[in-house]
A and B are shown apart, each in its own frame.
Chain A
């Protein structure tokens, strides 16, 4: 049973437009969420996170929104740039309360930003 789901395997957007990547989760005990970005032949790199006590966190061009009632989060990238082309993973720590422990990842969404 997948606890973190990314239902869109790929997304293509034009440079300068908004990219919206979606993530759903099934475990209501999750209290922290992270987004990672992965380029080919590299390890995932941390991008942005959000605690369950918030509904929005912003860092430059990247904003994560959390809708706890819908068990849904999304990552917005505005404006999108060709260098943003990568695979994006949504993740949640498997241990609760302490917001740490092994990360449970979705399958990822491959974002392509076209010039």
Chain B
């Protein structure tokens, strides 16, 4: 199985801050990396697919990059509605695997 490691596992940030979350795969997954946002009591929602493509309707303050084994998700200016848990997911091979999550909290 491909292991997905996210860091940090949690972070505290203020409104307007630039936030970066990293995801590392245990082997190369090309660009088969997706990012999800999950708010408490809600299902995950896709933000980014194929490592860097912004899902329709997702604010442009979200961006992502990477290929191979190292990936990043960036929120350029944190907004109140962005406080949530973020997960990466590889779809390169079965079994599909998710990172452990990064919880973004209010400072």
A and B associate in one complex: no
B residues sitting closer than 8 Å to A (CB atoms) are none
